Amino acid sequence: MEALKGRDFLGLTDFSPREMQELLQLAAQLKAGEVKVSMECPKVLGLLFYKASTRTRVSFSVAMYQLGGQVIDLDPKITQVGRGEPVADTARVLDRYLDILAIRTYEQEQLETFAEYAQIPVINALTDWEHPCQMLADLLTIQECFGSLSGLTVTYLGDGNNVAHSLMLGCALMGMNVRVATPPDYQPVPGIVEQTEKIAGGKTEVILTDDPIAAAQGSQVIYTDVWASMGQEDSAESRIPIFQPYQVNQQLLSNADPEAIVLHCLPAHRGEEITDEVIEGKRSRVWDQAENRLHAQKALLVSLLGIQ
C-alpha cells in the first residue's frame, strides 16, 4: 500500500475507509500466507511504552521479527525520556536512529508531539484517547466471521474509554452501526461522539444509551472491556456496583442476534465485565481477536514502511 508509506497512525481517522479496507485485506492475506513480504535491509522498530502491555508489545515485536526487522524496547524507566528530557528532543534523536516508532502513553498530545518532531512513521499503540491498533484487529475478526462489515451492528457495553472511542470511529468509517451502553456518568467524550456522527453522516446509526438490554437487541457483535482502565485502578472497586448491569453474561447475550459473536480486547476481569461462561463459550472470538493483533499490525508495518 504505497499510499500509506511514511505516514503516521495516530488515530483511526488518519486513514480513509478505502485505505482501512485495503489494510484489512492485506492483513487477511498475510494471515493466510497468500502474500509474503520481507525486508531486503532490516529496519528497526522502537517501542516506547509508558504503560504495561502484553498483546501490543508482543504482537508488534513478533510482527517485526517475522518481517525480517529488529525491535528495540525503549523503556522510559531506563531512558532519558523518563528523567524529564523534552519530548521534542527525544523525538528528534530517535528519528535519526529508528525507522518506525510505536508509542503507548497517556496523553494524545504527547503522541502528537512525537509525530510533529520525528519524520519517521509514529504509531499510536494506545493513549487515553484512542486504541486504533486494537480496532484494526477487531475489524479483521468481525470481517472473518461475517464476510463483510457494512451494515452490521456492533454493541459496546461498559466504560466509555479509549477502546469505546476507537470502536465508534472504526464502525462509522466502515459503514457499521454502533451502539454504546454505559452508565450515565461514563459516556464517551463529546468530541469522539461528534466525530463519529459526522463520519456516519446519518447513513449508519450511532446510539448512546444507558440501557444495556436495548443496546444488545439484535446486535451481531457484543463487545466489552474492563470497567477501570490503566491509571484508574484506585476506583476499580467502587465501579463494580455501577457497572454490574452492563456485564456480558448469557442473559444479556440472549438479546443479541442468534449468530452474534463476543469480543473483549483483554485483559479480562472474569466475573466483572464478562462471565467465564461467555468468554469461554461458543460465541466468543476473543482468542481469534487477540491473534489478529499480530496480523493487523504486521499489515500496518508493511504499509507504513513500504515493504515489498
Q: Could you give the residue numbers annotated as active site?
A: 104, 131, 134, 225, 265, 293
Say how far apart CA 180 and CA 212 lie, in whole Å.
8
C-alpha distances in Å from residue 178, one per residue of 18, 145, 149, 181, 184: 19, 17, 12, 10, 17
Question: Which residues are 270's β-sheet partners?
Answer: 274
Q: In this structure, are residues 104 and 51 in contact, taking their beta carbons and an 8 Å threshold?
A: yes
Stated as kind and residue range, the H or E segment containing 206 is strand 206-209
Q: In what order do the strands lie in the sheet with 44-49?
A: 70-73, 44-49, 100-104, 122-124
C-alpha distances in Å from residue 124, one per residue of 178, 218, 245, 296: 23, 33, 32, 14
